[in-house]
Every structure is written in C-alpha cells, then in structure tokens.
C-alpha cells in the first residue's frame, strides 16, 4: 500500500486513519478529502419527510430481509432463526435510531440521492461494525456515512463465463434432481447472465406468484450446482 | 468475522437475483422472511409500534430545536429593544406576561440578566412579542 506523510492539522479527525506513526494510506487521505468536498447533509425536513411518508410496516420487512441476507450470505452465520431474527431487528432499530433521533449517521444527499441506497448502506455498515468494530473505525469516519466495501457487485462478463459443457452438465444434474421446467429456465437465464428478476420472469413468461414459487424451489437446488462447480474447479 | 469473497460464479448470480427481489418485491420478501421463521404479521405490528415512537420522538426533538431557535432570536430582539426604548419594551413584555400570569411583579427590564429574560420569554407567545416589538421600533 502507498503511504503519504501529511501534517496532522486536525488530529482528532484524522487519528482514525493512522496506521504507523503519522503516515496514512493514500486511499484514506483521498477518501477524507472527497468527503470534505462533497458533504451535503440532508436537512431535518428531508429526514422528517422520509420518516412520515414511508410505509414503514412494509419497509421494515425489507430492511429485516436485507439483514438476513447479509448475515447469511456475507457472514455465513449459522445461527438459529430466533437469533438471526433478534439480531436483525436490533440492527434495524439501531440504524433507524441513529439516523432519525441520535443523528449519528448523516445522509449525504449528494453522494446518496436515494434514501433507500443510504439506509441499506448504513445497515450493511452497522452489521460490519457489530462484527468488527476495529476494522470499521479505521476506514469510516464517525458521522459521515460511506458504503463499505462489502456492497454487492454484479459479476463482470469475464467472470460470468461458464463453459458450454459445464452448463449442460449442471442442467442435466438439475433435471435428474427433479427440477421442473420453470426452474431449468431460471438456470438458463442465469447462465446467460440475466440478473434482473423481472427480466427472468418475463423471459419465462410466468406470473409473479409462479415465479416466486419456482425461484424458491430453484434456490434449494443450490447444492447440486455447487457440487458441479466444485468438481470443475470453480 | 470477515466476509468471504469467492470468485463470482453462478451461485453469486443466485444470491444477486435474490437480493434484487428482496429490494423490489415485497411479496417475495414476506415469503423469504416466513421461510426464515419470521411471523410477518407480528413483525409488522412491532415495526408499527416502534416507528410510532420514533416519529413522536423525532417530532419532539424538531419542535424543541425550533423553539430554542425562536427563543434565541426573541432574546436578541428584546435586548436590542431594551437598548432603544427600555420603558416601552418593559411595558409590552409585562402586559403580555400579566395577561397570562396576573400576579407577575413589575421590575425594570434593563436590570434583568439574560437568564432571567430567557426564563420569562418561555412563558410568552414569542411570535406575538416579536411582532409587537417590531411595530414599536419601526
């Protein structure tokens, strides 16, 4: 990693970036400078608008589901449903409290014009904090929110390559395992690199409800795919 | 605990599509949570209660902030007004206070400390007071 020697003109603010003595990673300095330049924090009115005009009963479920997904997929937790539920609820509560009451998490509207993007990022970051406080303190300022580097990214075309042979092999294995036509079509869409649920649903030509059911059956066949990928060095 | 980052493959595609559905599709989200053992109706009731509390607290904080800001402005105006016309300002303030608290005792405003003015102003209609003082001074 590259380091720059910089004068400590605001020690309190910069001490979080300290790695060795008074040297800071270039990335951290650039991040700090960028944040200073682009800091436009949402007004109280804007926050109140989000608070008053959202259907929080529905939104709460989305945030809970996000927590479940992050914990299961990124952190690979093997918790009971109860523990997962309890933890996720506490994350959602704490994040909402930090945004609307304590104002510990500032919504930088220039960086995140969309509130959804902001709150989801805060949730990811808060989970990260809970798991690994030291790591996060060295990269993110106390009050300024920035997406952590665990955010999902779509695979590039290069990464998406799955050989014709392997594709056929997995298809056959899924079929052998009892996958129905709509599940096989979902697999074909994924293998073609289609990652938008609505497009997959339209490609297959089924209703929302049928797609939900097909998807839930398909994802339970994950192990079949995993075994075939592993056997082929993926 | 650190997140595991594997090479992207079809399994990541499955996860990405699922995440998209959780973002945009509330019906799927409900099913997903149910599969994870969440009682969706109970969770929504809990959310409703929690958010009512948050909305109430947020509103209270905003009101307090506005009140403090108004109070700060009023104190400045009263102090300025005392300098310009202490007698008239005292009369205006006292009449407003006496209409609310008839037993209020008259005392010369120019002898009051900032803290005393602040305490007294908490009991009057600040907007009305500022209008009155503004009229007198214009």
Q: Give the Å distances, CA to CA, from A170 to A154, A203, A223, A232.
A: 22, 20, 11, 11
Does A31 score more than 80 pLDDT? no
**Contact between chains at B25 and A58 (C-beta distance less than 8 A):** no
A152 touches chain B (CB under 8 A): yes
**What is the distance between the alpha carbons of residues A88 and A37, in angstroms, rounded to a whole number?**
34
Q: How many beta-carbon pairs below 8 A join chains A and B?
A: 151
Does A29 score more than 60 pLDDT? no
Q: Which residues of chain B have pLDDT under 70?
A: 1-8, 99-110, 136-138
- Tell me the sheet residues that pair with A25: A3
Find the residue in A nearest to B36 (Cα).
A81
Does A10 score more than 70 pLDDT? no
For the beta carbon of residue A67, count every other beta carbon within 10 angstroms.
22
**What is the distance between the alpha carbons of residues B95 and A90, in angstroms, rounded to a whole number?**
53
Specify the pLDDT at position B90: 76
pTM: 0.69
Look at residue A44 and give its three-state secondary structure.
Answer: helix
pLDDT averaged over every residue in chain A: 79
**Contact between chains at A68 and B29 (C-beta distance less than 8 A):** no
Does A149 score more than 50 pLDDT? no
Least confident of A120-129, A137-146, B78-87: A137-146
- Quote the minimal CA–CA distance from B70 to chain A in Å: 16
């Amino acid at each position: 990693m590259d380091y720059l020697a910089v004068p400590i003109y605001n020690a309190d603010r910069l001490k979080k970036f300290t790695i060795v003595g008074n040297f800071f990673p270039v990335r951290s300095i650039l991040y700090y400078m960028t944040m200073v330049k682009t800091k436009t924090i949402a007004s109280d009115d804007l926050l109140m608008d989000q608070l008053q005009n959202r259907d929080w009963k529905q939104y709460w479920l989305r945030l809970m589901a996000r927590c479940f997904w992050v914990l299961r997929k990124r952190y690979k937790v093997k918790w009971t449903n109860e523990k997962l539920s309890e933890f996720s609820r506490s994350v959602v509560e704490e994040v909402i409290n930090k945004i609307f009451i304590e104002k510990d998490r500032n919504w930088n509207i220039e960086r995140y014009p969309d509130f959804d993007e902001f709150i989801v990022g805060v949730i990811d970051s808060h989970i990260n904090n809970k798991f690994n406080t030291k790591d996060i303190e060295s990269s993110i300022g106390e009050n300024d929110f920035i997406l952590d580097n665990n955010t999902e990214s779509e695979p590039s075309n290069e990464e998406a390559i799955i050989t014709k042979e392997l594709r056929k092999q997995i298809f056959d294995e899924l079929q052998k395992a009892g996958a129905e036509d709509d599940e096989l079509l979902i697999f074909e869409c994924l293998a073609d690199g289609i990652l938008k649920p609505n497009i997959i649903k339209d490609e297959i030509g089924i209703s929302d409800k049928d797609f939900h059911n097909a998807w839930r059956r398909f994802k339970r066949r994950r192990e079949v795919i995993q075994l075939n990928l592993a056997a082929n060095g993926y | 605990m650190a997140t595991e980052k594997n090479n992207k493959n079809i399994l990541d595609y499955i996860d990405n599509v699922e995440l998209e559905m959780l973002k945009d599709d509330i019906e799927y989200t409900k099913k997903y949570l149910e599969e994870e053992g969440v009682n969706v109706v109970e969770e929504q009731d809990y959310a409703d209660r929690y958010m009512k509390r948050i909305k109430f607290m947020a509103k209270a904080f905003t009101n307090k902030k506005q009140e403090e800001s108004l109070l700060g402005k009023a104190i400045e105006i009263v102090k300025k007004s005392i300098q310009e016309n202490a007698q008239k300002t005292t009369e205006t303030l006292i009449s407003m206070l006496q209409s609310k608290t008839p037993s209020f005792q008259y005392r010369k405003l120019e002898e009051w400390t900032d803290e005393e003015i602040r305490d007294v102003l908490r009991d009057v209609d600040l907007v009305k007071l500022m209008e009155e003082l503004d009229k007198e001074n214009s």
